[in-house]
Amino acid sequence: MEGTARQRIDKWLFFARVAKSRSLAAKFVQAGKVRLNREKIDQAAHSVKPGDVLTISLDRRILVLKILLPGTRRGPFEEARTLYEDLSPPPEAKAAELPPVAERDRGAGRPTKRERREIDRFEGRD
C-alpha cells in the first residue's frame, strides 16, 4: 500500500494490535470508544489515513495514537509499532491510589497471639 492510502479503521486497529480481532475492533468503534481527530465515529468502515490522530478508550487506560502508515498485515508487535506514534499520557502512579495501612495502638482491640501468650504467662496459665 502507498503511504497516502486510506484504510478501514477496524482493519487498521487489528493490524496495529490494538484489538485482538477485527470484529472486536469493529465493536470498539461501534460502541463509541474511538475518536478520530477529536470526533466520535461509530462506523467500522470509516477510513483513516496517515496523519490522523485516534483516541481510544480502553477499560483502564486511554490511548492516543497518531497514524503513520496503513497496515498490510497483522505482524509481530515490533512491526505493528511502526504503524503509529504513541502520544498517550504516561500512566498515573498506582502507589498514590492505595489506601494507607491500618494501624492500631498497642493495647487497643483484640490481643494478638503474642500478647495472649504474654497474658497467659503473667497469669500463670502456661
Q: What is the mean pLDDT of each run of 10 residues along the chain (126 residues)?
A: 76 95 94 94 93 91 93 93 92 68 77 89 86
Residue 112 lies in a domain: no
Residue 24 lies in a domain: yes
Residue 73 lies in a domain: yes
Residue 70 lies in a domain: yes
DSSP line for the chain:
--TT--EEHHHHHHHTTSSSSHHHHHHHHHTT-EEETTEE---TT-EE-TT-EEEEE-SS-EEEEEE-S--SS---HHHHGGGEEE-PPPPPPSGGGSPPPP---TTSSSPPHHHHHHHHHHHT--
Q: What is the CATH number of the domain that holds 12?
A: 3.10.290.10
Residue 59 lies in a domain: yes
Residue 123 lies in a domain: no
Residue 37 lies in a domain: yes
d(CA 68, CA 82): 7
Residue 78 lies in a domain: yes
Res 22: pLDDT: 94
Res 15: pLDDT: 96
Domain membership of residue 70 as a residue range: 7-92
Number of domains the chain is built from? 1
What's the pTM?
0.69
